[in-house]
Amino acid sequence: MTAIITGAASGLGLAIAKKLSQKNINLALFDKQKEKLLGLSKQLSGNYKIFETDVTNENEVKESVAKVIEQFGSVQILINSAGITGTTNIKSHEVNANDLQTVFNVNFTGSFLMSKYVLPFMLADHYGRILHIASIAGKEGNAGMLAYSASKAAVIAMAKVQGKEYAETGITINALAPAVIRTPLVDAMPATQVKYMTDKIPMKRCGTLEELANMAAFIVSPENSFTTGFTFDLSGGRALY
């Protein structure tokens, strides 16, 4: 079995890659940070290959997916983990339009392009598991994070649409909405923004990378065969729906 993971060089993507590598799944690790990808040899076991890829570039996505098929023969799992927050801790009227577009390009368009070019191979095999990493911000909207919240809402809507479109094909497509998970991405955010998000969590703590990786591994497993178009909660009780 082969899995493509985007944003695999660090954070959520790397945590998921570590988990799946323990399950003897072949890994195709996508990220545009080549140096970080090259440094993963000490952190991963099992068979994996790296693909320097900008998920916002359609030609690069198409070519990299084709290389995965060439090297591994097929792909059964796609996990879209590449994501950025953009500028945060600002009001909507202060949002820069170019920054907003950049966030959408990575968080939404990147996930769309990956699924666009992976789905034909899954359809040919009558099997597949796609997981879009969304966010609780996409469900509820985080003040000070318009671009990020709106882009993750779009990701959730895409999972709902795709889940319905491919429901009879053997392919499940779901999203995962974490609250605050302690990653380098979160560490780079203003402390006031992180406190705002963490204070909303009834458990009063951040989620761990291990907790996220465990849930992601189940969602893309053969055992998860009757849930599609769904957004799984990983919010410490914050999610209201």
Per-residue CA distances from 11 to 84, 157, 181 (Å): 11, 24, 9
Sheet of strand 231-234: strand arrangement: 48-52, 26-31, 2-6, 77-80, 128-133, 171-178, 231-234
CA atoms in the 13 A half-sphere facing the CB of 65: 24
Among residues 48, 148, 166, 196, which one is catalytic? 148
Beta strand segments in 136-212, E: 171-178
Residue 195 DSSP one-character state: H
Please indicate whether residue 241 is annotated as part of the active site.
Answer: no
Whether the CB-CB separation of 195 and 144 falls below 8 Å is answered with no
Contacts for 172 with CB less than 8 Å, ≥ 6 apart: 128, 129, 130, 163, 166, 224, 225, 227, 228
Q: How far is CA 16 from the centre of its chain?
A: 10
Catalytic residues: 148
